[in-house]
Amino acid sequence: IFGVSDGLVSNLSLVMGVAGASSGQGHFVLLAGIAGMLAGSFSMAAGEYVSMQSQRELFERQIALERAELEAMPSEEEAELAGVYRSKGFSPSEAAAIARRMFQDPEQALDTLVREELGLDPDELGSPWGAAAGSFAAFAVGAFVPVLPYIVTTGGAAFPFSLGLSVAALF
């Protein structure tokens, strides 16, 4: 929603500005609209990639720290996990038994600690490339709306059509 809305509003502003400055010459408006659509789409994609990659690296670092704690202090980590289960309503003996069983497999223990203690799903840390592609596409869809009338119509009709279509898309 943010990408579509951002593309729509920013490119509508660009298209309207160029339309006013060029006395409505459609080819200038079309060129500026397409350039704005591409520039904004690539900018949004790059920003989303960097943001998602940074977030993913942070999560991976948190998982690595949890792994190091598990290797260095397994009994303390087992006690922490038992505490998590006690907070979920298990009795102290039940919680200790569950944690002990989990810790028989270090990978299962790590997975459970990451999910319960950090609130992360190690299998779903997010894809920077997927987020970038999604942001690119969302911005491009929104930015295309004010450009479309300049592709299908000519002359002075494109300006009000572009404005009307963009306002309708905003709603």
Provide mean pLDDT across the span 24-46: 93
Task: Please give the pLDDT value at position 149.
Answer: 94
Task: Please give the pLDDT value at position 150.
Answer: 93
pLDDT above 80 for 70 = yes
* Residue 100: C-alpha distances to residues 63, 76, 85, 120, 122 (Å): 20, 12, 12, 21, 21
Task: Please give the pLDDT value at position 145.
Answer: 96
- Quickly state the pLDDT bin for 89 (edges 50, 70, 90): very high
pLDDT above 90 for 118 = no
Percent of the chain with pLDDT over 70: 99
Q: Is-contact 10 143, C-beta < 8 A?
A: yes
Q: Which two tokens stand for residue 88?
A: 């979920």
Kind plus residue range of the DSSP H or E element containing 158: helix 158-170
Share the mean pLDDT of the chain: 91
Task: Please give the pLDDT value at position 124.
Answer: 84
Q: Return the SS3 of 25.
A: coil
- Per-residue pLDDT tens digits for 99-115: 999 899 988 889 888 88
Task: Please give the pLDDT value at position 155.
Answer: 72
The pTM assigned to this predicted structure is: 0.77
* Residue 154: C-alpha distances to residues 31, 34, 80, 148, 162 (Å): 14, 16, 69, 11, 11
Q: Which amino acid is at 88?
A: K
For the CA atoms of the chain, what is the radius of gyration? Answer: 26
